[in-house]
Every structure is written in C-alpha cells, then in structure tokens.
Amino acid sequence: MGSSFAFEVTHTDGRARRGRMTTPHGVVETPAFMPVGTQGAVKGVTHRDLDDLGAQILLSNTYHLYLRPGDDLIARRGGLHRFIGWTKPILTDSGGYQVFSMASRRTIDEQGAHFRSHLDGSPHLLTPEKAVDIQAQLGSDVAMVLDECLAHPSEAEAARASMERTLRWACRARERFLAVQAGMADGVTVSNRAQAQFGIVQGSVFPDLREESARQTVAIGFEAYAIGGLSVGEPNPVMYDITAQTTAVLPEDRLRYLMGTGTPADLVESVARGVDLFDCVLPTRNARNGQLFTREGPMNIKNAKYAEDDRPVDPSCDCYTCRTCSRAYLRHLFAVNEMNAATLNTLHNLHFYLDTLGAIRDAIVFGRFESFRVSFHQSFSRQPHDS
C-alpha cells in the first residue's frame, strides 16, 4: 500500500484546474474521467484494455457488489483491488443512487434507506454507517457518503428537507468512517487503511440550498467534495450554472467531483467551471447501443448508410477499433448481435472520453483551455456554447 490520499492543483487556466490526486494505489492526473465498472468490470472490456486506453481510475458500484458477491466475500479475498485484479485506484459510490432509483422497492426515513433486493426480494437497510462499512470492506481508495438523491423537479421545501437530511447523514458517515479507519468498528474488515472519504453537496437546482449544503459539508471536513443530484433531467444551462455556483463555494485546495456526468460537451463545460473528476455510463452504455462519439459529433453505427462505408469511425482517432475496423464491419457486427460489437464500440468511446480529458489537461497546462473549448464545441456540436 502506497501513500495516503492527497490532492494538489498544479496549473490553472481561468477556472479550469490541472491537478494530481494521489491515492494508495497510484496517482490520477486531473481533470480525469472514471469508466464505470458496475460489477467490478467495465462491460465488454478487460482491465488490460482499460490499461491500454490509459484509464487511471475505475468506479465500482457498492449496491451491486454488496448484493453479489457480497462485501464479506470480497474482504476475505483481500479487498476489491485483489479480487478483480486491478492495481490502480478505485472509487466506490455509496450504493444510494441505485437504491433511490428503485422507487417501488424502497422507503426512506431518518435512519436510512430500507429496500428489497432486485435479485431475490430480500429486505436490506442501507444507513450512512452501513455504506461506510461496506466500502471499508471493499477497500476502495475513495469512498462516498450516503446522500439522499432527490427526483427532479422538486419543490424548494422538499429540496431543503432532503439537503438537510443529507447533511445529518454526512455527519454520521464521517464519524463512522473515522471510527472504522481507527480500527474501532467490530466486525468490519478494513481492506484499505488509507481510504479517503468524499462528502456530497446536494440542494437540487436552488442556488441558496447548494451554497448552504457546500458550506456545511465542508465544515464537517472530508478529503474532497462531490456535486451530486445533477444530470437528473434539469436543462443543461441550469446544470452548468449550479456547477459554477457550487465550485465557487468549495475550497480551492480540494478535489471536486461532478457525479454521473455526462456528455463530452458537459465535461468540457464543467472543467471550465472548476470540476476535476467525472464518471458516467454514457460512453460504455451508448457503445453497447451502437452510438459512437467522434470529434464531429455522435454517430449511430446501426445506420444503413454505413453498410458499405470502408472508413474508420473517426479518421482522426488512433484507438484499436479505428485502426483496424471499418464502419461497414462494425455495422455488420452490431446487426448480427456479435459480442465483439460491444467490445470494439466500447474501446472507441472510452478512448474518445479519456483522450478528450488528456487534451483538456494539456490545454490547461499551456494556457490554451479557452481556445480548446471553442474548437471542441465547433467540431463536436457545431453549436458553440456562449457561456
């Protein structure tokens, strides 16, 4: 096990930040994108593929791993890194998002989220403390607090009550985290002695609630801070404004993680507003549905016009898929439901996301982020953003 958690900003360009997150399993150059490995694997690709793509950190889902194969089993294997054979950093979510998504199978009260497994209907209770314990057993490098995920749209009153509950849960989660890390929690195997814990800012689309949530969460004191509850159906300009208002309240010297976002354009716009870390299922899920991201915008490989198109998906892309496969071949693989279709499409989309983040990092270092941003939008959406 290497050094403990640290973060430093190495360059700034406007509000965009180039930084370095140090974890027990290595360094993550930021801004960074985390591929989502829901069940301890990114669907369709191996860890070797992810290494080749330059993935620096994976996200895994606590809800799924808790139900199968179980955090006890993973702890007995020495933690998630050893169990899945991934030696670089891992961030785990709290499990809350999946539980909150199952509206008919769960009830929420002050104690936590009572839910029934989507697998066998068995009853479970996910509390702020339980989310800490599970993630300690998984041994991820970064653990997230359990927050209440509110549906959009929400009234201001409901959003305030939810934001305040998330703060109370954050206090409980931090207290439990410190006890667990100090070895004072019986029955919990701590698989990573240098795990970090991130707090989550909530408050829906209300700037005053976001500001209060950010200030109070920072007052509790976490290694870094995430912005939750966005990308849930609100218009893009609202998401960008809330992101900008929230990062303005968060401390300059702490990493900022925008959860569950988003499109390539969202990533560029969020970096412009001071975000350092992202995760999203979009590149991997869309790949499996035949949607490929290119520098000239999204492409649907199912389209009949690609049936005899011998060009690569993106002539300017140097990923394995674009170096070896034509659009015609990829369309054929998709049409016949060949599993290689998912693999090849996922390789390209993840390469596009990771390569875009690499270009963003370079642009910030050289003080050229603003021109990168303009040319990215001109090429990708052909509709330059004006904010």
Catalytic residue ranges: 93, 279
Nearer to Zn ion, 162 or 321 (CB): 321
Out of 113, 282, 317, 354, the residue judged to bind Zn ion by CB under 5 A: 317
Does position 144 interact with Zn ion (CB under 5 A)? The reply is no
Out of 80, 188, 275, 319, the residue judged to bind Zn ion by CB under 5 A: 319
Q: Which two tokens stand for residue 338?
A: 């060949």
CB 175 within 8 A of CB 221: no
Annotate each residue in 347-376 with x if it binds Zn ion (CB under 5 A) or - if it does not, as one string: -x----------------------------
Tell me the closest approach of the beta carbon of residue 374 to Zn ion, in angstroms: 23
Q: Which two tokens stand for residue 12?
A: 């700034």
Sign of CA dihedral 315, 59, 230, 228: negative
Side chain identity, residue 161: A
Out of 268, 322, 357, 364, the residue judged to bind Zn ion by CB under 5 A: 322
Side chain identity, residue 18: R
Q: Collapsing DSSP states into helix, strand and coil, what is residue 123?
A: strand
Tell me the closest approach of the beta carbon of residue 62 to Zn ion, in angstroms: 32
Does position 88 interact with Zn ion (CB under 5 A)? The reply is no
Nearer to Zn ion, 46 or 316 (CB): 316
Q: What is the dihedral of CA 103, 105, 109, 112, to 10 degrees?
A: -110
Nearer to Zn ion, 18 or 348 (CB): 348
Does position 327 interact with Zn ion (CB under 5 A)? The reply is no
- Residue 324 has a CB neighbour count (10 Å cut-off) of 10
User: DSSP letter at 149?
Assistant: -
Q: How far apart are CA 264 and CA 294, in angstroms?
A: 10
Does position 196 interact with Zn ion (CB under 5 A)? The reply is no
Residue with structure tokens 């953003």? 385
Nearer to Zn ion, 145 or 357 (CB): 357
Does position 287 interact with Zn ion (CB under 5 A)? The reply is no
**Interface with Zn ion (CB under 5 A):** 317, 319, 321-322, 348
